[in-house]
Amino acid sequence: MAKYDFDAIVIGGGAAGLTASGIAANFGAKTMMIEKDRLGGDCTWTGCVPSKVLLKAGKVAHQIKHASQFGLIDQQPEINFEKVIEHIHQTRQDIYEDADRPEIFEDMGIEVVKGVAHFLDDHQVAIQLEDGTTRRVSARYFIICAGASAFTPPIEGLNNVSYLTNDSLFEISDLPQELTVIGAGPIGTEMAQALERLGSTVTVIDVADRIMTNDDPELTGKLKESLEKEGIKYVLGAEVKRVSQRGDAIITAVECQGEEKQITGDQLLMATGRRANVDGLGLDAAGVEYTDQGIEVNDRCRTNKSHIYACGDITGQYQFTHMSEHMAKVATTHALLKFPMKIDRKNVPWVTFTDPELGHVGATEQELKSNGNSYETYRFPYSKIDRALTEAEGEGLIKIHAKKWNGKIYGASVLGAHAGELISEYAVAMKNGVTLRNLADTIHPYPTYSLGARRAADQWYIKNQSEWQIKFFQKIFGLRGDIPDLSDPDRIV
């Protein structure tokens, strides 16, 4: 062990790298963290944080326009987009200062180095420092957390056009007047709504025939209808053929249903996914196996080299901050303590923070059908959640897929206000074997959104009723009421 400079070297200072470094130091490991740019990674600077600040600004503007739903007077908000961007920058900086700055990790005993690292062999890296010098260091274990970057597909003319990605969107100072978004996934959908609410005219293009293809199709359909009512235009099932620029106008040519059409805007946002940052790491020198999609790892985040681990976006498996942190915990704990943790693939939650929000955890209905699982679907509308009605948030639906006889939860999807919080309750339940019966029997405070989770679980009791059971209870206990109509599959009690 003493022949290595460090017990653990973490490459990358984003969500995965910060978590891995902190855990390693807490275990008593001599740790170095190498980051080529700023600690915090995509989440702090170009992803989760700035996008949610922009979404909040858009929501406030939307509420001002529709204040009458709260008994107030509708008004047209004054939008100073430059001020919105300044607010985004200040929020990022505040979070960085509070949670991500190097001094916080140095106080833990971690050596934080700014530079570009690449492997020389499987136990040694060279770091290109800011002053132009090179430093060589070795470690017993490596945890690669180098993240991912915005990916743009090979579209004719794209390289000759000034376009935006999530890496550059939050650095502009002028609000796009006519924004074209290529990609109807979570990033494209969130940013389309935020900018439309702030005053942009937005058109979203995708080759798929629906938005957000990893989510429940019924709920994404409802979300799309809501976004269309706000003014967002969709061109789906469309292949982008080429992009060109004519003066200040960016023209996107698409083929849809055998016909070519042109979409014109003054800004183009490429929301076409992300690709792992495998280039330049010297993975071949370390003997680490990888593909264009990312570094290959097993359920313990270990690569083909037993002392080299990778976690987060660099693996190409999950592109969520919470999964980066989860994988970092798995990797570091297994590497340093040999504790047999594994990636929890069954209970992965995700949320798209549109208004209404869309959250999911566990198996989708398509997966359950493909695997031949026997399940029942339990539905509960937001229109029956009193807290949602008090806040004019009655649009939404909870869907739960569970085993009929015992209420074991296989998966859940929620469309509605605070869906991200509600989906967490189902994630906890699934992880710990809590059934719909257990949820239904748990006291939830009134009036809350979480009460909707309990009432949705109540539907397990309702759907398991039968006419013979009711008649049996009537006979035994002398009950004299009418037998409920059990034929309605959407009956809500």
Tens digit of pLDDT for each residue in 332-375? 999 999 999 999 999 999 999 999 999 999 999 999 999 999 99
pLDDT at 466: 73
- 46 pLDDT exceeds 60? yes
Whether 368 maps to a domain, the answer reads yes
Say whether both 17 and 130 belong to one domain: yes
pLDDT tens track for 245-256:
999 999 999 999
pLDDT at 469: 79
Say whether both 389 and 470 belong to one domain: yes
Whether 48 maps to a domain, the answer reads no
Whether 230 maps to a domain, the answer reads yes
Say whether both 356 and 418 belong to one domain: yes
- 473 pLDDT exceeds 90? no
CATH number at residue 162: 3.50.50.60
Q: Which helix (H) or strand (E) holds 368?
A: helix 365-370
Whether 492 maps to a domain, the answer reads no
Share of the chain above pLDDT 90, in %: 91
pLDDT at 82: 97
Q: Stretch 112-123: mean pLDDT, rounded?
A: 98
In the chain, how many domains are there?
A: 3
pLDDT tens track for 208-226:
999 999 999 999 999 999 9
Say whether both 367 and 410 belong to one domain: yes
Say whether both 285 and 204 belong to one domain: no
Say whether both 208 and 325 belong to one domain: no
pLDDT at 475: 87
Say whether both 386 and 439 belong to one domain: yes
Q: Stretch 54-71: mean pLDDT, rounded?
A: 97
**Rounded-to-integer distance, Cα 451 and Cα 420, Å:** 14
Distances in Å between the alpha carbon of 400 and those of 254, 339, 394?
38, 33, 19
End-to-end CA distance of the chain, in Å?
Answer: 64
Whether 143 maps to a domain, the answer reads yes
Say whether both 135 and 169 belong to one domain: no
**Rounded-to-integer distance, Cα 241 and Cα 262, Å:** 10
pLDDT tens track for 397-424:
999 999 999 999 999 999 999 999 999 9
pLDDT at 290: 98
- 273 pLDDT exceeds 90? yes
pLDDT at 482: 85
**Rounded-to-integer distance, Cα 83 and Cα 477, Å:** 68
> Strands 349-352 and 376-381: what pairing?
unpaired
pLDDT tens track for 281-325:
999 999 999 999 999 999 999 999 999 999 999 999 999 999 999
**Rounded-to-integer distance, Cα 464 and Cα 388, Å:** 27
What are the backbone angles phi and psi of residue 395, rounded to the nearest 5°? -85, 120
Closest CA to 454 of 422, 476, 415: 422
> Strands 267-270 and 178-182: what pairing?
parallel
Cα angle at 184 between 50 and 388, to 5 degrees?
Answer: 65
Closest CA to 65 of 198, 233, 223: 198
- Cα torsion at 234, 236, 240, 243 (round to 10°)? 0
Who contacts 78 (Cβ-Cβ below 8 Å, separation ≥6)?
A: none
Say whether both 399 and 354 belong to one domain: yes
Taking the whole predicted model, whether its pTM rises above 0.85 is answered as yes
- The answer to whether residues 375 and 401 touch, using CB atoms and an 8 Å cutoff, is yes
- 493 pLDDT exceeds 90? no
Whether 84 maps to a domain, the answer reads no
Q: Stretch 110-138: mean pLDDT, rounded?
A: 97
Whether 489 maps to a domain, the answer reads no
**Rounded-to-integer distance, Cα 27 and Cα 286, Å:** 26
Say whether both 182 and 126 belong to one domain: no
Whether 393 maps to a domain, the answer reads yes
**How does DSSP classify residue 4?**
S
pLDDT at 1: 52
Who contacts 233 (Cβ-Cβ below 8 Å, separation ≥6)?
A: 202, 203, 204
pLDDT band at 103 (very low <50, low <70, confident <90, very high): very high
Radius of gyration of the chain (CA): 25
Q: Stretch 185-199: mean pLDDT, rounded?
A: 98
Share of the chain above pLDDT 70, in %: 99
Say whether both 399 and 388 belong to one domain: yes
Mean of all residue pLDDT scores within the chain? 96
Q: Which of 272, 289, 317 is the last residue of a domain?
A: 272
Say whether both 11 and 117 belong to one domain: yes
- Domain of residue 429 covers 349-477
CATH number at residue 401: 3.30.390.30
pLDDT band at 483 (very low <50, low <70, confident <90, very high): confident
